Amino acid sequence: MKKKILLAIGAIIIVIQFFQIDKTRPEVESSKDFITMELPPQKIQDLLHVACYDCHSYETKYPWYTNIAPFSWWIKHHINDGRNHLNFAIWGDYELKKANHKLEECYEMLESAEMPMDSYTWLHPEALLTPAERTDLIAYFKEKAGK
């Protein structure tokens, strides 16, 4: 009985590998990108690229493990969710009120240490923010939001 269950599980794992995630990158107008529009200092740009842009833009890098289902599905869900909440690639499409609200959300999520997510930094330790880096990003977003 155990052998049949293990064979069934193995078969399922093999079959689900044929259902890969979509890794295509949408066309982007660079003029609408947050960094292009807001011109933050280089230090802030670097922090955004390392800690934010992978999930909150169309600059996602898909490592080898995104080829393994169902893990890849979980990662793609996080990426889609991240882009739905905030997408720096389409910053220019946000109305002023929405953009200001997004800036507030950025510093609130950083202050509460909800971002970057632990599940992301486990696999991307370069995205772990030092207290000073976190403080710099918070101060930058607050300044942009007029707070």
Residues of the domain holding 95? 2-145
**Which of 80, 83, 85 lies closest to 102 in space, CA to CA?**
85
Instruction: Output the pLDDT for position 35.
Output: 97
List alpha helices for the chain, DSSP H.
2-16, 34-38, 42-51, 71-85, 96-111, 118-121, 131-145
Instruction: Output the pLDDT for position 48.
Output: 98
Q: Which residues of the chain have pLDDT under 70?
A: none
Instruction: Output the pLDDT for position 112.
Output: 97
Instruction: Output the pLDDT for position 94.
Output: 97
Instruction: Output the pLDDT for position 27.
Output: 87
Domain count, the chain: 1
Instruction: Output the pLDDT for position 15.
Output: 84
What is the spatial distance between Cα 119 and Cα 122, in angstroms, rounded to a whole number? 6
Whole-model pTM: value is: 0.88
